[in-house]
Amino acid sequence: MIILCEECGKKYRVDPSKVSEGMKFKCKACNHIITVSKPEVRAPEPEAFIEPEEEVGTVKIEMPSAEPEEKSEKRARPTSDVLKAGKKGRIGLRFKMMLLFFALPIIIVAAAGILYLWQMSSLSLLLTGQSAETVKIMAQDLVKEKARSASKQISQYIATHPELNKEDFNYEMRFRLIAVQKVGLTGYTSLYSIPDEQGLSTFWMHPNAKLVGINTTESMQKILGRDFNDFNKIYQGAYKGAEAEGYYFGKDADGKKQEIYMVSSPVEGTPFVVAATVFLDEFTRPIRVMETRSQKLITNAKYIISAIIIGTIIFIGLVVSIYGNLLVNKIRSLTDLAQRISIGDLDAEVNIKSKDEIGDLYEAIVRMQESIRLSMERLRRRRK
């Protein structure tokens, strides 16, 4: 004979001769306990209700279980642990959303911000560096031009005043105005002689009167100290009649050590050399001020961009977290509904209001639930 499960509708073929009073067995599809009573002897009826396309299973009848009906009914439905089986070790939807819509955008935004700041800093350094180099070259050209101009003027003056001795240079005002000239705001020109028979070189025109007429080597060693060698290379470089230039360090009016640029230009037809010097800081100071300001602006930009990135992280994190929780909770509710329907709970309900694909899925599951309920009702009526 054919036995029909009241919960899921699965059909089983049972040998009537093996059925006794109170026999029970468990449905293989839904775990529902099916009770089979001894059939009454009656005329055979056609099994028209058996649909040929469905598979009719066979079941091995066991002795009635000693367990109470209440416990058997409880075992018929899977517990939450059974429903959660197989979910371990997988990547959840919330984690994927956080990865795709939070972590990756933040990494991209942070990388773009860092790259932008690096480009700004590089551009600032490039501009200030090139500007400083350009100004430095212009300062060098200015000092060279001043030294060469003073050298020509002194050569012409000495040629037209052969009676003028070097000891009288400081008393000739017109000559002094030619020999000692301003170079920029901090620089000046001076006049010194190449070594005489005794091997001594002396300043004959200098803004500092204390240096005039004495041994230059001894006086400058006392003033410059360890930086004298750099000065002396430029100073002696013009002894052979060639122009010499270079840098050395000296103290400014405030006593601060600064880099000095010096050009020694020989005076044609004389044993004299014009030295033009200037503190390079005079020309590069505006560039340094601009560099300091640009670095301050870049630092402020770093703070602003960092604040924007942090604010973006917080905002995106909140949006993804809130929306992700709502979406995941809806999907979990639909999953729970589908699982309850799959074990025969056709009265299960969830409250989901969503005007998107989640709402469409919910309506489809409800329609499926109603369709299964109607099918089960039809099966029950046909069985009766």
* Residue in 321, 370, 309 with CA at minimum distance from that of residue 107: 309
pLDDT given at position 87: 53
Statement: residue 67 has pLDDT above 60: no
| Residues 6+ away with beta carbon under 8 Å from 125 | 291
Q: Are 32 and 344 in contact (CB under 8 A)?
A: yes
Domain boundaries, the chain: 2-75, 118-288
Q: Are 198 and 185 in contact (CB under 8 A)?
A: no
Residue-wise pLDDT for 203-244, tens only, equals 999 999 889 988 888 889 999 999 999 999 999 999 988 999
Write the DSSP string, 122-143: HHHHHHHHHHHHHHHHHHHHHH
Residue-wise pLDDT for 78-109, tens only, equals 444 544 544 555 666 667 777 777 777 778 87
% of the chain surpassing 90 pLDDT: 23
pLDDT given at position 245: 95
Residue-wise pLDDT for 297-351, tens only, equals 878 888 888 888 888 888 888 887 888 888 888 888 888 888 888 887 878 888 7
CATH level 3 topology of 118-288: Beta-Lactamase (3.30.450)
- DSSP-derived letter for residue 103 is I
pLDDT given at position 160: 92
Q: Tell me the whole-structure pTM to 2 decimals.
A: 0.52
CB atoms near residue 348 (< 10 Å): 15
